Each structure stands twice: as C-alpha cells, then as structure tokens.
Chains A and B, each alone.
Chain A
Amino acid sequence: MSALLVRDREGHRIGTLSAGRVARWLTIVGSCAMVAAQVLAVDRAGPRWPALLLVLLAVASANLPDGGVPLATIGFAAGWWLVAVPSPAAGPATVVALALLVFHVATTHAATGPAGRDVAGRVVLAALGRTAAVGLGTLAVGLGAATTTGRVDVPALVLALALAAVAALAVATTRQ
C-alpha cells in the first residue's frame, strides 16, 4: 500500500499519510461521532459539549491508540449514555454498542505496529471477519434485551450469581 511520507528539509521523516491510516482515523473518529449522534438523538434537550468532548477524545485516541485514551473515551461515552438516556428502552443501545465495537477494533488495529506502516490485505480481512463475529453476538444480545425489557423480573439470587460470574470471568481473563 503506497504512502505519502512527509519530511523536513533535512529529509527526516516527520509523518506518513497513507490510505490505510486515513481510513483508520476516519473509522475511529466516525464511530464516536455515531455514538454522539445517537445520544443526542435521544437527549435532544441535553447539552452539546459532551458530544464535542467525545469527538476530541476520539481524535486523541486515533493519534494515541496504544495507551489509556481509548479506554477513557469508552468510559466517557458509556457515562454520557447512562446520564443522558433515561431508561433502557429509550435508546438504540445495540447501535451504540456496535459503534463502540468498531471504535475498539479500529484502535486495536491502529496500535498493531508502527504508525503509517504497510498492512497486508489478509490482516485487514481477518480483522473484519472477527469483528463481524463479535458484532453478530452483540446484535443477538441486543435483540434479546430489547424483547425482554420490561417483561422479565430477575430475582435477586440470579443477580448475585451474575455478579459472581462477571467477577470470575474478569479475573480469569486478566490472569497472566
């Protein structure tokens, strides 16, 4: 994949502009813009600055994908959602979840290797396939949640078991 190298007067490379890099940047920022648009569509009377802040965080994530900024972006988006969307049934949670999935995968991909590098087509196709699989799982959970919201009463024991399962899974996935 060809790239445009930006150099200073002495010939040192100061930046790389490639189609792949632009696509990654647009995907990262675009997915957050999608989240902002969905939240603003639900909370029409709410403030606009969180949307601007979210996009700024997305821009920072696109430039620093291998750090804590993407996590802060996801946390901010989820917190804004929690505050701005009054009830579970009021907003398109599945769309936002898919947008956050795209954001996560794009930042993961951007953090794989140096910025501006050439990426083989097979690598991109494999990443798209895995994202689609996770997206389908998310879609299934989202549809299930949409159909059961307000119809099923979850007992306290099930809640406690769910919490324990979540904690166990978290420990299992982070153990080195």
Chain B
Amino acid sequence: MTGWHATQAHLRAVAAGFGLLLLGVVVGRVDLVVLATPFVLMALAGRVSRPARPPRLVAPAGSLAVHEGEEFAWRATVDDLPPGAVVAALHPAQRWLEVTPEAGLVVAARDGTATVDIGLCATRWGRRTLGAPAVVSYDAWGAWRWVADRPPRIGLTVLPTTEKFDAGAPAPHPQGLVGMERAGRPGEGTEFAEVRPFVPGDRLRRIHWPTSARTGSLHVTATHADEDAHVVLLVDVVNDVGSSGGLTGARSSMDVTVRAAAVLAEHFLRRGDRVGMRVFGDWRVSFVPSASGRLQLRRILDTLALVEPGTARGEDALAARQGLGAGTLALLLSPLIEPASTQQVAMLTSAGIDVVVVDTLPAELVAAGDTDGSANQLLAWRLRMLQRRLESDRMSSLGIPVVPWAGPHTIDRVLRDLTRRAATPRMARR
C-alpha cells in the first residue's frame, strides 16, 4: 500500500479514453479515435507517473503562546514527493482566528519537497486548540492523490494584548525596598524634595553650591526615596456581558477587563512594583501571589488567558481581603453588574486599602444592552443600569474612585488624587 489513490480525473481519462477508442474501433470511426487520443495519453501518463511510495508529512506539534493580534505561521513540509507533484492545504476556519489564505493554497514541490505556510492570527485572548489542517498531495498529472493523516493539533495560548501604558502618576503607598515609586520619606532617590542644611553623613556631591554661597553655610539637595508599591488586581469575571468580535470587532466586558488587567500589570511591573492578582468568578484560577519582574507578568498573562467567566459564583466577599494590607493599592476591574463586587469594595475600603474601581462595561453596552433581546429583557437591562449607576454614585460619594476604562491614562488622575490623599490622616478599621 503506497497510500496513493486514483483521482476522478484519472478514472475519467481511462473511461473516456478507452471507451471512445473501443467504440471507434468497433464502429470503424477514426474521428472517435482522435477524440479518444488526449484521454488515452493522459491515462497512460498518469499510469506511468504513479508514485511508488507514500510521502512523509512533517507538521508542527505541541503548544504555542502568542499575544492577541500577533501573526504566526503553521508550516508543514511534505517529503518524498514524486517529480512535479503539488500539495494542497487548507486550515479549518475557527472563531477568533484569522487564516491566510482562508481558502487554502496549492504549492508545487521542489526536489521532492513541498513547504506549506499558512498565516494565522489569533484575535482574542484565551486558551484553545487549533484545528488540524487538511493536507493532500497530487502527482504531476493529477491522476493520483495522497491524503495525509490529520496532523497533530496545536494547543494555543493567546495572551491578552498589553497596550503601551505610560502613566506618570505614582502609586499612593510605596512601602518596599527598591522601585521607581516616590516614597513619602526622604532618602536616596531621584525626585527632588527640598534644599536643607548639611548634616554629617550627607554626600558631598549633594551639596547645593548656590544656596551654600548665598547663606554662608552648607546646604544639600534632598530627595525622596524610591520604593516599590504593592498593587493587587482584583478581576471580576462573574459575568461576561456582550459578545466578543475579537481584537478589532465588538468588545465584551470580559475583553475590556482582561486587556485592562494585562495593561495595568505590565505597567506596574515595569516600574518595579510588586503585583498580584485575584480573580473572582472562575473556578480554575483565583489567585496569583504578588511578585515583581517579567516572569510575574507572564504568570499573570497566562492566568488571564485561562479565565472562563461565570464558572464560579457566590464567593465569599472576604476573599478579596486575603493577603492585602493597609497600603496596598487594589485595582478592581469589574463591569459592576454583580452586586457582590460593590460589597467587596466596601470591605476593602473599610480596611484602609486604597481601592480604585475600573468600570469595564463597554460604553456601547451601557447605552444599548443586548439589542436582540425582547422588550422585557431590554427593560430589565435598563433597570439594572439604573441600579448600577446608583451604586457607582454611592461609591463615589464615599470617596472610592470609579473610572470607566478608556485605555492608558485611565487611572492616572485617580492615582495622583490618592497620593495626595495618602498624606492626610484618616480612620480605618483594622
């Protein structure tokens, strides 16, 4: 068994060629012999070119991690092809996956080897398995066909895109040892604090010569210490509102939540802060301990890619407080559909934790909701939106900032306000 099978074209050439030839000889019509000639020649050529052994398909296997919108290729090589053979390949269509060329391609073999390159681009975060492409080889005359066994499927992890985020605002409570956040205490840092009289222990290069010359005594330039902050992302995935059209299409609330979490995580980790994450509403992933560095970013992105919204409900509101202490900056990313998220915010605030609520419900959904729903569903949605606005206003009146996510710089102003507020005394329940 070589695995090569006759195509319809070869059977057609044989049937038409020899049938017409036979008929021409029987009825004595030489014109039928002429009509039969091209088919007979094609049939004979096909017979002669029949491949003796099956080709070998080498296709990628394993798993792959890419970012949303990142292009990558599925490349397979078919060896041991007969001279003049062609290879056709088609990658199955899949949701949130752009395939180029979408309708497949046919390539010619060179020296018995054909390489198939299919461009792929994942348009939504998540973990999924790619469909197995179909690969078929034909001999030079299209008379014989070899269908490859389906190549192994590739596990694909699509990490959420990390849009460039360059907020200049510092975190309100830097408490660590090293980092880029401006601390409240003076120390060796880069941000100017004041010009003060020289005391033993000050470095000579800190001396501020203009002031020293004017006053007659040595003065030095004092700076704020640089420290890192503890930031925790609280990701509410209890509900996914709206339908996702991928990176360039419509946004669901989960799209906004996950991408915003990725952007914020990258921003604070790049500044040297410690970032942790807690996910509510997913039974598989719940907690990423705080750490810093690029590995932590990958850990958070991997966790975000795993998120399946709405697979766990009724979690204890106290869970949000685990591992958080006063001085932690908590960023709650939520579409604010579930009332439990409001309770969590209240609990964290009463514990002295700075909470910034990032509203991740897309603006277009707030206005229109699910337009395909019935009149009752639309009415219910409007009522829920009114309740949601009330809850949001109540949080704002309690001093809890609620900002709709609008890309980078969304929380810039809020962080500055929190930093200023951190300098003022206030009461907190411990």
Could you list some 18 contacts between A and B, CB below 8 A?
A18-B103, A66-B8, A71-B11, A75-B19, A85-B31, A89-B31, A98-B38, A100-B39, A112-B88, A112-B138, A113-B105, A114-B88, A120-B108, A134-B41, A159-B25, A163-B25, A169-B18, A169-B44
Q: Which of B30, B42, B105 contacts A119 (CB 8 A)?
A: B105
Interface size class of B (residues with CB under 8 A): 35 or more
Is B101 in contact with chain A by the CB < 8 A criterion? Answer: yes
Is B32 within 8 A of A78, CB to CB?
Answer: yes
**A176–B141 CA distance with the chains assembled, in angstroms:** 16
Q: Which of A118, A134, A159 contacts B103 (CB 8 A)?
A: A118
Chain A residues contacting B86 (CB-CB under 8 Å) are 112-113, 123
Question: In the assembled complex, how far is the CB of residue B31 from the closest CB belonging to chain A, in whole angstroms?
Answer: 4
**A101–B34 CA distance with the chains assembled, in angstroms:** 11
**A135–B37 CA distance with the chains assembled, in angstroms:** 9
Residues of chain A at the chain B interface (Cβ within 8 Å): 3, 5, 12-13, 16, 18, 66-68, 70-71, 74-75, 78, 81-82, 85, 88-89, 91, 93-94, 96-98, 100-101, 104-105, 107-109, 111-120, 122-123, 126, 130, 134-135, 137-138, 141-142, 145, 148-149, 159, 162-163, 166-167, 169-170, 172-174, 176
**A112–B22 CA distance with the chains assembled, in angstroms:** 29
Which residues of chain B (4-61) have a CB below 8 Å from chain A? Answer: 5-16, 18-23, 25-27, 29-35, 37-47
Is B107 within 8 A of A120, CB to CB?
Answer: yes
Is B37 within 8 A of A138, CB to CB?
Answer: yes
**A149–B33 CA distance with the chains assembled, in angstroms:** 12
Q: Is the interface of A mostly helix, strand, loop or mixed?
A: helix
Is A94 within 8 A of B136, CB to CB?
Answer: no
Is B383 in contact with chain A by the CB < 8 A criterion? Answer: no
**A163–B25 CA distance with the chains assembled, in angstroms:** 7
Residues of chain B at the chain A interface (Cβ within 8 Å): 5-16, 18-23, 25-27, 29-35, 37-47, 84, 86, 88-90, 93, 101-108, 136, 138, 140-142
Is B104 within 8 A of A134, CB to CB?
Answer: no
Which residue of chain B is the closest to A159 with respect to CB atoms? B25
Q: Which of A70, A101, A122, A148 contacts B38 (CB 8 A)?
A: A101
Which residue of chain B is the closest to A148 with respect to CB atoms? B30
| Leading 8 A-B pairs by shortest Cβ distance | A113-B88, A101-B38, A116-B103, A117-B104, A93-B31, A108-B9, A170-B18, A173-B47
Chain A residues contacting B136 (CB-CB under 8 Å) are 113
Given contacts A134-B45, A145-B31, contact A97 B102 (CB under 8 A): no
